[in-house]
Amino acid sequence: MNSHNLADALILYGQPFASRMLLGTSRYPSLHALEASLTAARPAMVTVALRRQLAANGDAQVGFFETLKRHGVPLLPNTAGCHTVDEVITTAHMAREVFETDWLKLELIGDDYTLQPDPIGLIEAADKLIRAGFKVLPYCTEDLVVGRRLLDVGCEALMPWGAPIGTGKGVVNPYGLRTLRERLPDVPLIVDAGLGVPSHACQVMEWGYDGVLLNTAVSQANLPEVMARAFASAVEAGRAAYLAGPMLERDSAEASTPVVGVPFWHQADVTHEPGAAA
């Protein structure tokens, strides 16, 4: 199945995307590794950020941005590092001006250790950003009620975490994510954060999730380009499996080979009288 066929496009805010994989651009060993990973994965969007200009690295960052522009991949600016609604709003407006896009990955951190989102501020920030015309993709948890509140203020997709950012743990709350999927069947859901290996991505796609966003799992792999390609294949496989309609899981075994005609299988004669010799 070609994941880059718009016939099964990921639809976000009415825009189709051929790929169901979004990729972060951070923590790669080199610009070349990033570029090779982008080519291998062909992601729908890549995440970017804004940070204070430091005189020493000004030219390096221009190279990074020029590389992305040359690839022509859609950009998804984030508000990483923001701890208040005001910081998010200011960062969002700055991002829109620099990156010339309304797309925004909304991050509002509530804890510096777990980097989990502040659910209360997240809803307030999403409300203000949606009113300001941003296409908001909120990084959230698997909390169903918070998800509903984000949708109520106008978000058209959610990005629940699989695990804390950068941990590579995969999905730490399968029940929560599956419940979210079941309770919000018509909402584009993208698992963002915490994925570590392609099987994690494949698993959530099999559950019916619409996409994944990952960064560290690729950038910190020994061979980022190879891992990027592996993740792209896993997303494609998981999506295909979901669309194929997997078999139902059973508790008891059921032979897949017919039992009729098994050779060497001796059966009692049904006409034999009890107690008589066989």
Partner 1 sequence: MDIRINNHPFSIVDDAKLVDALNAFGAKPPFAVALNGDFVPRAEHGSRALTSGDRIDVVRPVAGG
Minimum Å gap between C-beta 234 and partner 1 is 19
Angle between the N-to-C axes of helices 198-206 and 224-244, in degrees from 0 to 180, rounded to the nearest 10: 20
Residue type, 171: V
Minimum Å gap between C-beta 61 and partner 1 is 6
Minimum Å gap between C-beta 6 and partner 1 is 27
- Closer Cβ to partner 1, 40 or 237, answer by number: 40
CB 225 within 8 A of CB 31: no
Which H/E stretch holds residue 213?
Answer: strand 211-214
Q: Output 218-223 pairs: Cβ under 8 A, ≥24 positions apart.
A: 218/23, 218/24, 218/37, 218/41, 219/24, 219/26, 219/27, 219/28, 219/29, 219/33, 219/34, 219/37, 220/27
How far apart are alpha carbons 4 and 41 in whole angstroms? 10
| β-pair type (15-17, 10-12) | antiparallel
**Residues of this chain that bind partner 1 (CB under 8 A):** 24-28, 34, 47-55, 58, 61-62, 64-65, 77-78, 80, 86-87, 89-90, 93-95, 97-99, 165-166, 215-216
Minimum Å gap between C-beta 163 and partner 1 is 14
| Closest C-alpha to 231, from 211, 203, 201, 207 | 201
| β-pair type (190-192, 211-214) | parallel
Query: Is residue 69 annotated as a catalytic residue, yes or no?
Result: no
- Closer Cβ to partner 1, 34 or 227, answer by number: 34
Three-class SS state of 190: strand
- Closer Cβ to partner 1, 191 or 237, answer by number: 191
- Closer Cβ to partner 1, 77 or 119, answer by number: 77
- Closer Cβ to partner 1, 60 or 243, answer by number: 60
Minimum Å gap between C-beta 56 and partner 1 is 12
| Closest C-alpha to 128, from 155, 94, 103 | 155
Considering the candidates 69, 105, 128, 169, report the single residue annotated as catalytic: 105
Active site residues: 105
